[in-house]
Amino acid sequence: MFTTNKRARQTIALAVATAGAAALLTGCSSERNRLAEFRSDPTPDLVTMNERPDDAKNLNALIKDESKRMLYRDWRYAWYLDRPTRLTPEPSAW
């Protein structure tokens, strides 16, 4: 029984050592040269100095949304729709 357990441990150790050696031999290499890619175009998809196209679109959508909400608020202020009517028979807190 002891020899079977020892043999199993040796097999596991050999498998781990083989996997480790294979990992060390392959390393972190890739098929393409990423450094050359970076050197050819260090800022690939920037619209401004620090924004990608998606960032610029998100900012424009946010600005349009805020502007629309401010316009609606100003419209309500102009027509006094931001407070309840005073034409009620009951007294109002306004």
**pLDDT per position as a tens digit, 23-68:** 777 666 555 677 777 777 777 777 777 888 888 899 999 999 999 9
Instruction: Classify residue 42 as exposed, middle or buried by CB count within 10 Å of its CB (0-12, 13-18, 19+).
Output: exposed
Domain containing 62 equals 46-88
Judge whether 38 lies within some domain: no
Judge whether 81 lies within some domain: yes
Judge whether 60 lies within some domain: yes
Judge whether 26 lies within some domain: no
What pLDDT was estimated at residue 71?
94
Banded model confidence at residue 70, pLDDT cuts 50, 70, 90: very high
Judge whether 74 lies within some domain: yes
Judge whether 21 lies within some domain: no
Judge whether 59 lies within some domain: yes
Model confidence at 5: pLDDT above 90: no
Q: Which pTM was predicted?
A: 0.43
- The count of structural domains within the chain is 1
Model confidence at 90: pLDDT above 70: yes
The secondary structure of the chain, three-state, reads CHHHHHHHHHHHHHHHHHHHHHHHHHCCCCCCCHHHHHHHCCCCCCCCCCCCHHHHHHHHHHHHHHHHHHHHHHHHHHCCCCCCCCCCCCCCCC
What pLDDT was estimated at residue 47?
75
Higher pLDDT, 5 or 44: 5
Higher pLDDT, 11 or 45: 11
